Each structure stands twice: as C-alpha cells, then as structure tokens.
Structure 1
C-alpha cells in the first residue's frame, strides 16, 4: 500500500512514493496489518481509555484501534509526510474529534495515557525509556512483538520492573503481545 495522496490531491507531489507498508505484505494485508492491529483492543483496560500509538507510520495499529474504541487516541509520528497522511485519513474517516496527530519525536510529546502501544519502533528496553513519561501508575503497555519477545523482555528487565503478561498473537504463531503494567525504572 502506497500513499498516492488521492485523499488530498493538491499535495500529490509531496506524498508520492511514501511506502506505508512493506510491498511483501500486500498479499496478507488483512491478517498482517488490520487484524494484527485490531487484536490489541482486547487489552483495553476500560471502555473509553486514552491510547497513544508511538511511531504510527501508516496508522498501524493506531488508526485501526481508533476505529474500534471510543476513547481518545494520540498518534505520534515524527516524519512530516506520514503525519500529514495520518491527518488526512483521520479527517476522511471522521475521527478528528477523538484522534490527535503529533508530528514529533515521542520524547517531546506531553500527556499521560491509559494505554501505550507501539509496533516495530524499538527494542523493549529502549521503548520503555522513550515512553515512560507518557505513563501513569495504571498505564497498560500493549506491545506486539515478534519471535524475539522473550529476549527483549529479559533484556528490559535488567533496567525495568513491571508486571508482565505474555499473550499469543492471533495472527502469527511466532509472535507475542507483551502486556505490561506497573512499569518503572530500576534504581
């Protein structure tokens, strides 16, 4: 899927060539991207929870989550063209009243959220360091991870304490979802 900016024709030249997903995943777009994102909603701690999706890129999982939940969603995407794409899609889907786009590095974003998610952004240890300031004591991190989930978790637990649930992905037998609560840096 490439953004050809048919959503906003006057910016066509700015968006041409934006690779939003890997061409190799086009044949499995439903399972690999849509369902993979949608499965995260089952970990919402309560109806109307606030979500933040770090490194939203093509809106995965953030846009899919926004279509399925009722609470506010913040999509953080530092790349301007992708943030513009997300803004266009949010507008066209009628989600502008609940979805905010932050075109910035995650470290510069302010706010506290009930759920933090990120897909293919960074190893867990680094991701927790980048996002801890967005959490509160009850925040749930819902993080889809590939076959290295257990290794990332072990490495992160050197520097972080947390309660962990490891859930099997519904879309990939080799992938897991790390559901973290009570996250804090070790002193």
Structure 2
C-alpha cells in the first residue's frame, strides 16, 4: 500500500477522495474478485493503472497475471511494483489492449470502459472458455442493456461485498452478434 500511496502523489492512480479508504475501496474491492472467479488460469488485467485488481489477484492467487496498460508512466510503476514484490508471474505490457496478442482464461478490467466497448476491445484475447470477471457500479443494468444489442454471452452477476450499489459480472461464451 505504501508503494501505491507514494506513487499516487506523482500521478493520478486513484481518486484522491478514496485515498483514506485504500483498504476497502481498492484492496478488498480487488480481492473480492477471487471469490467468484475460476480458481486457476491466466489473467489479463486491462487498463491496469494502479495495479488494481491485477497485482492483488497475483499476490493472493499465485496465478499468472498480465497487466495491460497504455500509459508508459503507469506501466513503469507496475514494473517497479512487480520487482519490489518479486512477482515473477506478473507481466506488464505497455500498449493499447487492441494491439495485444495472446489468449487468457480470465479477463478483468476496473473502470476502463462500458461493457459493450470493453467486450469489443478484449474479445480477441479470449478463447472458448474465457471468463470475464468485471466489477461494475450503479450503471450495470444500463451497460448490460447496451451490450446485449451487440453481444451474445452467458451472464452471472454477484453482489459486491464492498459496495451495495455494485456488482461483479461474470461473462462467458462471449460472441459478437452478426450484423444484419
């Protein structure tokens, strides 16, 4: 947490309004994904920024995690965290997710984009059994409605244990709908 607090003074990694509640708002909020996600597999954390949830997932699960961050300064921070915490199964990619290659068992993203757009920029990273594990806030129903226009998927929603107005979406069998 000290690494995050220190770096947050240099760049906008977390909202200043949440800095005093770092444990619940960021650490626990990230850790709760593990209670609903598959137990094993490779993770891709899109728009990793402060390493949330990716670094937390890596520490607690021991699973390989790839952090994908387009901003160089943030990616440099993630590399420092990886080195200082000796997280050998954490990989950092600096670049836009649309240009990343590979496939992952679990895809997550926290506050990156609305669901419809997020699926569009990440579906190429999925294989047949990939599960998206996505924390979502108050707009979740609106986002689901928009996404259903363009995407087929199986959905399971779990309540957040850190915010009564939030959910964790688990999507599988994601496929784009054919355009007429």
Q: TM class, shorter-chain normalised?
A: over 0.9
The match for 2:65 among 70, 73, 78 is: 73
Q: CA deviation at 1:46?
A: 3.4
Q: Secondary structure at the match of 2:76?
A: helix
Equivalence for 1:134: 125
Shift in Å, 1:114: 0.4
State the match for 1:91 in structure 2.
83
Superposition deviation, residue 103 in structure 1: 0.2
1:161 aligns with 2:165: no
Q: CA deviation at 1:149?
A: 0.7
1:17 Cα shift? Answer: 2.2
- What residue number does 1:23 align with? 16
Gaps of 5+ in 2: none
1:175 — aligned with what?
Answer: 166
Question: Given the two structures, how large is their TM-score scaled by the length of structure 2?
Answer: 0.94
Structure 1 residue runs without a partner (length 5+): 5-15
Q: What residue is the counterpart of 2:7 in the other structure? A: 3
The answer to whether structure 1 residue 58 and structure 2 residue 82 are counterparts is no
Q: Which runs of 4+ in 1 moved over 3 A?
A: none
Matched pairs, number? 174
Q: CA deviation at 1:42?
A: 1.7
Cα RMSD of the aligned pairs, angstroms, is 1.1
Name 2:39's counterpart in structure 1: 46
Q: Tell me the secondary structure at the aligned position of residue 135 of structure 2.
A: strand
Q: CA deviation at 1:2?
A: 4.3
TM-score by length of 1: 0.90
Q: CA deviation at 1:143?
A: 0.4
Secondary structure at the counterpart of residue 162 of structure 2: coil
